[in-house]
Structure 1
Amino acid sequence: MDNSVSNAAEAGLDRNSVDNKKSLDKAESTVVVRRVPPLLQDLSDEEFAALEKRLVRKIDMRLLPPLIIIYIMNYLDRNAIGSARLGGMEADLGLVGNQYQTCVSILFVGYILMQVPSNLFLNKIGRPRIYLPTAMAVWGVLCACSGATKDFKGLLVTRFFLGFVEAAYYPDTLRTGAVATLSVWYARRELGVRTGIFYCGSMLSGAFSGLITAGINSGLNGARGLLAWRWIFIIEGSLTVFLALLAILVLPDFPANTAWLTEEERQMAMYRLEKDAAGEEDWVSSSTQPIVEGFKLLLRDRNNWILVVIVYGAASSISINAFFPTVVASFGKGNTETLLLTTPPYLFACIVCAAVSFSADRMNERFWHTVGPLATALVGFVVACAATGIGPRYFGAMIMLPGIYTGFNMSMVWTSNTVCRPPSKRAAAIAFNNAVSTFCSIYGSYLYPTGAGPRYVLAFSFYAGMALMAIVACVVLRIVLTRANHCQEQLEREAEAAGREAPPNSGFRYVV
C-alpha cells in the first residue's frame, strides 16, 4: 500500500497474533506478545475494537471542546486590535504613520521567541491541563490591559507580551501546544479531522469577533467614559480569564498521566499510538523526553525542511486577520455593517475546513487536500486584487479565507503525520515550523500601507506568490514520501523473501 497502514488493520493483525500465540513458535511471537499490554491480551477482536471506539469517543468529549473554546478566545484576543481600529483606537491613542502596523506585528516577535521553548517544555512536563489554562489566564489579563493603554508605547508593550504568552497555546501559524496535545491522543488517521475541528475555533472567533464588536460599538461606546475600542479589549480579556479557570477542571493531560482514564483505557491509548508509529512509544514520562535531542533530530530531517516551505507559504496570508475588517471597510459601508460583513467568510471557512479535514482522514490522503485549498486561496487573492466592483471583491474574500485556513491546517496535519516520532521530535517540528512561518506575520502588517485600499495589490499579490510556492513544495514532498514508501516496501519484500528479520519501521508508511 502507498499510504499509512491502517491502524485498524495493524490492530487486527496483532490481535490475531496474540489470540494464536500459543500455537506460534516462541521465537517468532516474542516481539508481538511483548508489545501488547497485559490488560489487552485476552480481549477478543470485537472487545478490542469496542474498547478503542469507546476510548476515542471519550477523548473527543473531554479534549476537543475545551481546546476549541480556548482557541476561540486565543484568536479573539490577538485579533481584537483589528476591530478596535474601527472603534476609534488610532485617533484616541494618537497613532500615526506605521505605528498601528507595528503594534500588529510586534505580537509575532513574542510568538517566535517563545514558540519552540514553550512547546518543548510542555512536552517535557506532560501537564497541558495546568500549563495551557495558566497561559490563557495570563494572556487574558494582558488583553484587558490593552484597553487601558494611553499611548503607542503602552499598546506596543502589551501586544509584545500577549504574543509571548499566547505562543504557549497555538501560534498564528498553527497550534503548538494544542496540536502537540492532540497528536499524543489520536492516531494519524484520526488526527486530520480532529485538528480541522479544532482549527475551526480560529474561524469561529473571526465570525464572533464581528458580531461582538458590532454589539459593543452600538451599545457601549462612551459607557463609563470609555470608547468602544477599550471595551473590546476589556470584555474579551475578562472572559478569557474566566474560561481559563474552568478549563483547568476539564482539560486532560497525556494518556500516561490522565486521571479520568481507567488502567485498561490507558494501556489502549498508549498501545494504539505505539502501533501507529511502527512500535515506538509515545509520551511516557518527563524523563524520557530529551528536548535537545528531539530538536537535533528534526534539523537533520530533510522531509521537515520541505514541510517548512509548505507551512510558510500557507501561513503567509494569515496576517490578513488583523486587517480583514479594514479590507471589508474599503467597500464603503458603515462600521456596524462592515463588522457584520466579516462574519460570513469566517463561517464558510469553518464549514470548508471541517469538511476537508473529515475527507482527508476518511481517504487517508494529504496532498490533494492541501493543494486544493491553497489553489482556491490563490484564486481568491487574484480576484480580490484585480476586481474593482464590490461583488467580485467580496466573492474573492469569501473563497480566500476558506483556502487560507484549510490549506494551513492541512499543512500542519501533514507535519504531524510525517514527523511523528519520537514525541520530542514531533513537538519540535510543530513548534519550529510554526515559529519559522510566523516571520511572515511580522512583516505582513506592512503589506497594508495607508492608502493601499481598496484593492490592496501589494498584499494580495504577495499572498498569491506564497500560495504558489507552497503548492510546488507539496508536489516535491509527495514525490519524496512516495519514493520513501516504495523503498520501505522493497526492503520488507526482500527481507521476507530471504527469510531475514523485518527491517526497521516495518509496516510504517508515510501519509501522502
Structure 2
Amino acid sequence: MSTLSDEKAVDTIDVIDNCHARDDLERRLLRKLDLRMFILLILQTLNLIDRANISNARLQGFEQDLHLHGAQYATTLSILLVGYGLMQVPANMFLHWLERPSIIIPCCMLLWGTISVLVSLTLSYTGILVARFFLGFAEAPCFPGIVFLVSKWYKRDEIALRLALVTSGTFLSSAFGSLFASAILHSMQGYTCATILVAICAIFVLPDFPHNTRWITPEERALAISRLAEDAHDGADGLGKRTTVQGLRDAVSDWKVWLFSIATIFQVVGQSFFAYFPTLCATLGYDTTVTLLLCAPPWLLAGIIAFFLAWYSDKKQGRYKCFVVSNALGALAFIISIFTMDIAARYISLFLMAQALVGYLVLLGWITDTFVREPAKRAVAIALMNTLAQVGNIIGSYVWPSTWGPTYRYSYAICIVALGISTCMFGGMYLYLKHWNEQVERDEQDVKDINGLRGPIGFRYRV
C-alpha cells in the first residue's frame, strides 16, 4: 500500500512539474512574441500617419495648391482605397501560400515609402490620383497581413488584446500625426527614412508562422503549434490542410463571411469621420495650430479605452456586447453634434466619436475567432472583409462635403443610420452563433445522458 501511494505521489509531482515547465515555457514564448510583434505597431502607425497626411494637408491649403474643386478632394481620398481594395485578397492568399510575412510585409512597406515621396512631389490633380492609386496597391498587404499573422500565433482568449496592441497605431497616428503634420507636409524625407529603417528592421524581427519561424527553439515551436491545436485552432479536423485556392472557395461560399463583410461596409461608413477629424475639430473655431493640437486628446483616450475593452472582451469573451457599447458612444456623439454648436459640447462629442473605432478592433478579434480553425479560409475572409470595407470608406469620402459644414448635420445623421444598420446585422450574427453554441451544449448533454459519459467537445464560437 505504501509503495503504491508513493508511486502515485511521484506521478502527481511529475505532472505538476510538467505543468509548471509548460507554463514557464509558454510565458517565455508569449513574451518573446509580444516584444517582436511590437514592431507591427510602429509599422501601422507610420502607415496611418502617411494616410492621414492628406486630411491634415486640407487645413494647410492642399485643395488650393492643387486647384481642386467640387468632389475632387473626396476623389483623391477614395482613389487610394480602390487600389487598396483590389490587392488585399490576392496579397493575403499569397501570404498564406508563401508563408513568409517577415518578407512580404516589410517589402510592401519599402514600396509605399518610396511612392509616398512621389505623392509629395505631385503638383496636379491627375498626378495625385495616379500616385495615390498605386500607394493603395503598395499598402494593401499590410493591415490584413498583420491581422492574419497575429491570428496564426495567439489563442482566442489572447487575440483581441494583441490586435488592439499592434493596431493601436490608428490612435497613435491620429493623436500624434497631427502634431507634426506641418513638418511632414513640407518635407517627406524624414518620414521616408523612418519608414525604410523600420521596414529593414522588420525583416529580421518579425516572425513567420509557428512551423517555419527560425528564431524560436524546437520546444517553443512544438508548444506554439500544440497550444493552438488545443484551442480548436489550425489543423483541427484536417481543416488546416486546405490549400490557398480551397480557402478562397470556402470563404466565398460561406454566408457568414458575406454577412460580416456587408455589415462592415456600414460600420466603416459610420466611422467615416476618421478621415475628416481635423476638419471637424476645426469647426470649434480655432486656428490651424490649435486645431491640430486639439485633435490629439480624443485619440489618446480612445487608445486607452481600446486596451481595456480588448482585454475585457478576451477575458469575458463578450465580443458583441463590447462592440455595441462602442457604437452607442459613437451614436451619442453624432446626436450631440447634430443638435448643438456649443464649443464644449462639440469637443466632448469628439471624444465620444473616437470610441466608435475602439469597437472595430474588438470586431477584428471576433472575425478571426469565427474562422479560427481554417487558416486558408481565414486568410481570404480577413482580406475579403477588409476589401469590402473599403467600399464603406469610398462612400464615406463623399459623406462630408464642405457645403454641409460647419454643422455637418446631414453627415452625422448618415453615420447614425450606418452604425444602426451594422449593429443590427452583427446582432443577427451574434444570435446565430449563440444558438449554435447552445445546440452544441445540448448535443453533448444528450450524449452524456445516453452513455453516462461526457460527449465529444464540439467547436464553440466566441460571441
TM > 0.5 fold call: yes
1:239-278 equivalences under 5 Å are 239-277=194-232
- Distance in 1, matches of 2:70 and 2:45, equals 31
Contact 2:251–2:377 at 8 Å: present in 1 too? yes
Contact 1:310–1:474 at 8 Å: present in 2 too? yes
Match of 1:385 in 2: 338
- Is residue 192 of structure 2 the alignment partner of residue 237 of structure 1? yes
1:401-416 equivalences under 5 Å are 401-402=354-355, 404-416=356-368
Match of 1:198 in 2: 166
- Is residue 461 of structure 2 the alignment partner of residue 510 of structure 1? yes
Matching residue within 116, 119, 127 for 1:143? 116
- Is residue 304 of structure 2 the alignment partner of residue 351 of structure 1? yes
Question: What displacement does 1:455 show?
Answer: 1.5
Question: What displacement does 1:254 show?
Answer: 0.9
Matching residue within 30, 36, 47 for 2:21? 47
The letter of the residue matching 1:481 is L
Cα displacement string for residues 136-181 of structure 1 (whole angstroms, at most 9, x for unaligned residues): 11111111211100100111111111111111111xxxxx100100
- Distance in 1, matches of 2:233 and 2:453, equals 15
Match of 2:380 in 1: 428
Question: What displacement does 1:360 show?
Answer: 1.0
- C-alpha distance 110-279 of structure 1, shift in aligned 2 (>3 A): closer
- C-alpha distance 432-70 of structure 1, shift in aligned 2 (>3 A): same
Which deviates more from structure 2 when the two are superposed, residues 372-381 or residues 382-391? 382-391
Contact 1:116–1:435 at 8 Å: present in 2 too? yes
Contact 1:496–1:502 at 8 Å: present in 2 too? yes
Question: What displacement does 1:43 show?
Answer: 6.8
Question: What displacement does 1:332 show?
Answer: 1.8
For residue 509 of structure 1, give the secondary structure of its aligned residue in structure 2: coil
Which deviates more from structure 2 when the two are superposed, residues 236-245 or residues 74-83? 236-245
The letter of the residue matching 1:181 is L
Contact 1:314–1:407 at 8 Å: present in 2 too? no
- Distance in 1, matches of 2:291 and 2:357, equals 21
For residue 446 of structure 2, give the secondary structure of its aligned residue in structure 1: helix
For residue 260 of structure 1, give the secondary structure of its aligned residue in structure 2: coil
- C-alpha distance 447-282 of structure 1, shift in aligned 2 (>3 A): farther
Which deviates more from structure 2 when the two are superposed, residues 442-451 or residues 111-120? 442-451
Match of 1:212 in 2: 180
- Distance in 2, matches of 1:472 and 1:131, equals 37
Question: What displacement does 1:46 show?
Answer: 1.9
Matching residue within 316, 319, 328 for 2:269? 316
Contact 1:148–1:230 at 8 Å: present in 2 too? no
% identity of equivalent residues: 35
Question: What displacement does 1:94 show?
Answer: 1.5
Cα displacement string for residues 201-260 of structure 1 (whole angstroms, at most 9, x for unaligned residues): 11101111111115x2xxxxxxxxxxx7342x4443342122211211211111111111
1:121-200 equivalences under 5 Å are 121-170=94-143, 176-200=144-168
Cα displacement string for residues 258-307 of structure 1 (whole angstroms, at most 9, x for unaligned residues): 1111001000001111111168359999xx45122112222333333332
For residue 487 of structure 1, give the secondary structure of its aligned residue in structure 2: helix
- Distance in 2, matches of 1:281 and 1:255, equals 16
For residue 447 of structure 1, give the secondary structure of its aligned residue in structure 2: coil
Match of 1:37 in 2: none
- Distance in 1, matches of 2:26 and 2:233, equals 18
- Is residue 389 of structure 2 the alignment partner of residue 437 of structure 1? yes
- C-alpha distance 282-212 of structure 1, shift in aligned 2 (>3 A): farther
- Distance in 2, matches of 1:47 and 1:239, equals 41
- Distance in 2, matches of 1:236 and 1:487, equals 53
The letter of the residue matching 1:358 is W
Stretches of 4+ aligned residues off by more than 6 angstroms: 40-43, 282-285, 500-504
Which deviates more from structure 2 when the two are superposed, residues 346-355 or residues 471-480? 471-480
Match of 1:32 in 2: none
Cα displacement string for residues 293-329 of structure 1 (whole angstroms, at most 9, x for unaligned residues): 1122223333333322442332223432321111112
Instruction: Count matched residues.
Output: 452
- Is residue 29 of structure 2 the alignment partner of residue 59 of structure 1? no
Question: What displacement does 1:386 show?
Answer: 2.1
Match of 2:5 in 1: none
Match of 1:485 in 2: 437
- Distance in 2, matches of 1:239 and 1:493, equals 57
The letter of the residue matching 2:150 is L
For residue 403 of structure 2, give the secondary structure of its aligned residue in structure 1: coil
Contact 2:281–2:291 at 8 Å: present in 1 too? yes
- Is residue 96 of structure 2 the alignment partner of residue 98 of structure 1? no
CA RMSD of aligned residues (A): 2.4
- Distance in 1, matches of 2:238 and 2:97, equals 9
- C-alpha distance 180-503 of structure 1, shift in aligned 2 (>3 A): farther
The letter of the residue matching 1:371 is V
The letter of the residue matching 1:374 is N
- Distance in 1, matches of 2:104 and 2:57, equals 29
Question: What displacement does 1:356 show?
Answer: 0.5
For residue 189 of structure 1, give the secondary structure of its aligned residue in structure 2: coil
- Distance in 1, matches of 2:454 and 2:388, equals 37
- C-alpha distance 81-443 of structure 1, shift in aligned 2 (>3 A): same
- Distance in 1, matches of 2:233 and 2:344, equals 52
The letter of the residue matching 1:359 is Y
Unaligned runs of 5+ in 1: 1-18, 21-39, 171-175, 217-227
- Is residue 339 of structure 2 the alignment partner of residue 365 of structure 1? no
For residue 451 of structure 1, give the secondary structure of its aligned residue in structure 2: helix
The letter of the residue matching 2:198 is L
